[in-house]
Amino acid sequence: MIARILPAAVAAVESFGDPDTPVVLFPQEEAALGYSVAKRRNEFTTARWCARAALARLGLPAVPIVPGERGAPVWPDGVVGSITHCDGYRACALAHEGEVRTLGVDAEPNAALPAGVLDAVAAHAERNHLRRLAKDGPGVSWDRLLFSAKESVYKAWFPLTRRFLDFAEADVRPAVDGTFTARLLVDPPLVDGRALTGFDGRWIASDGLLLTSIVIERPIR
């Protein structure tokens, strides 16, 4: 499903449940898990199973994928990628760095955010935009989609800058056509000699899920 919002250069593997056959983690991955509860262990393990399958599609061997700075997965040299998981879904998207500069993916249930969360992650103008979308796009939890899009923004932003980006530092506007734009509200960093002022993304609603993605293919346009 997630492949529908990703370009051909990206290898994506998804799972709608945990594998029946136990997945053996690398020792480094086990150490990263520590004494995690079962839910966290299952999400982490199946996401690594997806990552290994995605690496194989790129012609690369399985390697430990451990959390690094700010929890971002540490990929092998020459690989960019993103992992996501929510109830009933896990996915990994990877690409060769020579073809893709950065990418971010996120999955969320197609259900309203808990009370109070939208006010914490969206500005007044964004919330007004969501109210207009609700009239034109019934069946989509636009507040949750906005949250997911902002998660994808951060996942694409961080590998480029190694800097934190708050929810309030990106103005995100989904559209009913399955796209969204993200305007960065911070001093634009230089990425490969160009000012990074925002991202364009894609989204899909299917099977009770909302999926979002951002991919910057080389060269940056």
Q: If the chain, 221 residues long, is cut into consecutive pieces of 10 residues, what is the mean pLDDT of each piece?
A: 97 94 94 93 96 98 96 96 96 97 98 96 97 90 98 97 96 97 95 92 97 90 47
- Does residue 165 contact residue 154 with C-beta atoms inside 8 Å? yes
CA 202-101-75 angle, to 5 degrees, is: 100
Reading phi first (left if > 0) and then psi (alpha if -120 to 50, else beta), residue 140 is in: beta
Q: What's the half-sphere exposure (Cβ side, CA atoms, 13 Å) at 77?
A: 0
Topology, domain 2-105: Ribosomal Protein L22; Chain A (3.90.470)
For position 221, what pLDDT does the model report?
A: 47
At 191 the pLDDT is 87
Domains of the chain by residue range: 2-105, 112-199
Confidence (pLDDT) at 136: 86
Stated as kind and residue range, the H or E segment containing 117 is helix 117-121
Measured CA to CA, the distance from residue 111 to residue 142 in angstroms comes to 9
Distance CA 129, CA 187 (A): 24
Q: Please tell me the predicted confidence (pLDDT) of residue 220.
A: 54
End-to-end CA distance of the chain: 26
Q: Where are the beta strands (DSSP E) in the chain?
A: 11-15, 79-86, 89-96, 100-109, 170-174, 179-184, 190-191, 194-195, 198-206, 209-217
Cβ within 8 Å of residue 193, ≥6 positions away: none
Sheet containing strand 170-174, strands side by side = 100-109, 209-217, 198-206, 179-184, 170-174
